[in-house]
Amino acid sequence: MEPIVVCHLGVGSSALEDPVKAGLLDALARDAALAGYDILSPGNDGNALDAVERAVNVLEDSGIVNAGLGAIRQTDGVQRRDASIMDGSTLACGAVSSLEGIKNAVSVARRLLHYSSLNEKQEGKQGCNFYFCGYFVDEIFKIHREVIPDSWRVAGGRKSLDGNATNIADSNGDITGKEGAGGGEGENDQGGDLTGGDTVGAVAMDARGNLAAATSTGGTRGSYPGRIGDSPVIGAGTYANRHCAVSNTGRGECILKMVAAKRACDIVALEGMNAMLAVDKMHREHDSMFPGNASRIGTIAIDASGNWTACFNGARMAWAVVTPTARFHGQLPGEKESF
C-alpha cells in the first residue's frame, strides 16, 4: 500500500480576513502532513501510529492552533488539553483529558495506549486503563517506572499568529490579552474566536496498510474547568479500525451525541462506501440531527483502499495531505491546491 497522511487544523465558522494568518495556517498544515509522512517514507518505514503522533506534535508545538501551546483557557484561567489516539490494526487506544502543564497531550495519550497494551499482555484484560483524567497522569507514568519528559511540558500563555504571548491570566485569574479570530471548538457562544486554528488531528495509512488516527484540543473557550468534548473520546473525535481512520473537529457535544468518528467507520465497513462518501453521509446525518451554524463539523479520513477525504460544513478548515505521488492542501470550501 502507498503511505498517506492527512491532517486538519480545525473547522471555523468564518473565513480569515487576514491573508497572512490564513497563509500561516496553510503552511502549518503542510508542515504537519510532511512531518507525519516523513515517518512513513521508504527510508524510515515507520508505522501509521508514529506518523499521526508526529503530525499532531507539530501542530501542538506551533502555538497558533487550539491545542498544545495554543490551548485556550477555561474560566479559571488554566489551559487544559484533551487528546486521543487509536491504532486501527489492533484497536489499541489511549486518551487523556483536562491535562495541565503539558503541551504534547497526544504523546501522553500514546503512552497510555502502550500501557494499556502491556496490561492486556500481563493481566489478560482486554483494553483496560486506556483513558485518564490529567490530574493522575504523572502517577500512571510512575507506576510504569517512567516520567513525563520535560520536552512535553509547558508553562505560560498561548501564542498569537505573530508569535507573541497572549491570553495570559493575570494575578486575579482573569484572562488578559488579545482574542483574535479562529473557529470551531474554541469559539465561545458569544462569537469570540481564537487567534488561529482550532482542534487538530491527523490520520495515516502506512506501507503495510495499517490505519491510525489522533486528535488534540484545548477545548471550548468559556467552559468550566473539567469540561471535555469529543476529542479525547474514542468513537466520537477519534476512531480507527481496519476499514477506516477518522479525526473530527467541531462542536464537541454534537459530535459526541452521534459518535461521529465510529459512525463514519461503520458506513465504510457495513455499507461498502469509500471514505469520502462515508464522511459525506455522516455529515448529512449530523446536519439533520443538529441543524444550524452552531453545529459545525469537519472530518479527515482514510479508508483501507487508500481513499482519503477532508470535508467540513463551516467556512474554513485548513488541511493537507501527502502521498508518494501527490501533495494537496486547502482551507476554503472546494479549495484543493498542489504544493
Across 98-107, 177-186, 283-292, least confident range = 177-186
User: Torsion-angle region of residue 145: left (phi > 0), alpha (psi -120 to 50) or beta?
Assistant: left
Q: Which residues pair with 199 in a beta bridge?
A: none
Predicted local confidence at residue 128, as pLDDT: 57
Q: What is residue 244's predicted lDDT score, i.e. its pLDDT? A: 98
Quote the cell numbers at residue 210: 495499517
Asked if the model's pLDDT at residue 228 lies above 80, the reply is yes
CB atoms within 10 A of CB 20: 10
Does the pLDDT of residue 169 top 70, yes or no? no
Q: Is 70 exceeded by the pLDDT of residue 193?
A: no
Q: What is the pLDDT of residue 192?
A: 34
**What letter does residue 149 receive in the DSSP assignment?**
-
In percent, how much of the chain has pLDDT > 70? Answer: 84
Per-residue confidence (pLDDT) for residue 15, from 0 to 100: 84
Instruction: Answer for the pair 94, 241: CB distance below 8 angstroms, yes or no.
Output: no
What is the per-residue burial (b if ≥16 Cβ within 10 Å, else e) of 251-283? bbebbbebbbbbbbbbbbbeeebbbebbbbbbb
Length of the chain in residues, anyone? Answer: 339
Q: Which pLDDT value is given to residue 45?
A: 85
Query: Residue 136: its pLDDT value, please?
Result: 82
Question: pTM above 0.85?
Answer: yes
pLDDT in tens, 229-259: 999 999 999 999 999 999 999 999 999 999 9
C-alpha grid cell, residue 278:
462515508
* Per-residue pLDDT tens over the stretch 70-79: 999 999 999 9
For 72, phi then psi, to 5°, come to -70, 170
Q: Would you state the pLDDT for residue 121?
A: 60
Which pLDDT does position 124 carry in this prediction? 53
Please say whether the dihedral angle defined by the alpha carbons of residues 258, 262, 264 and 270, taken in this order, is positive or negative: negative
Q: Which of 166, 195, 199, 299 is catalytic?
A: 199
Contact 242, 304 (CB under 8 A): yes
CA distance 321 to 311: 12
What's the longest Cα–Cα distance across the chain?
56
Instruction: Determine which of 7-16, 140-149, 287-296 has the lowest per-residue pLDDT on average.
Output: 287-296
Q: Is the pLDDT of residue 288 over 80?
A: yes
Rounded percentage of the chain residues whose pLDDT exceeds 90: 72
Q: In the structure grid, which three cell numbers stand for residue 45, read together?
A: 518505514
Q: What is the pLDDT of residues 61-70, one digit of tens each?
A: 999 999 999 9
Domains and CATH numbers, the chain: 4-338 (3.60.20.30)
- Whole-number pLDDT of residue 129: 62
- Give CA–CA dist 262/260, Å, rounded: 6
Residues 81 and 219: their CA atoms lie apart, in Å, by 7
Residue 222's pLDDT band (boundaries 50, 70, 90)?
A: confident
Could you tell me the pLDDT band of residue 176, with boundaries at 50, 70 and 90?
very low
More confident residue, 188 or 62: 62
| Count of C-beta atoms within a 10 Å radius of residue 75 | 13
Residue 44 falls in which region: left (phi positive, over 0), alpha (psi -120 to 50) or beta: alpha
Task: Give me the pLDDT at residue 312, please.
Answer: 97
| Confidence at residue 77, expressed as pLDDT on a 0 to 100 scale | 92
Supply the pLDDT for residue 194: 43
**Average pLDDT for 199-217:** 98
Distance (Å) of CA 163 to CA 11, 77, 196, 302: 22, 20, 11, 33
Average pLDDT in the chain = 86
Per DSSP, the three-state class of 297 is strand
74 vs 228: CA distance, rounded Å: 11
pLDDT at 294 over 50: yes
Reported as a single tens digit per residue, the pLDDT across 99-149 is 999 999 999 999 999 998 876 666 555 545 678 887 788 888 998 899 999
DSSP state of 304: T
Going along the chain, which residue ranges are E strands? 4-12, 81-87, 93-99, 131-133, 158-159, 165-166, 200-205, 211-217, 238-240, 244-250, 297-303, 308-312, 316-322, 327-330, 337-338
75 is catalytic: no
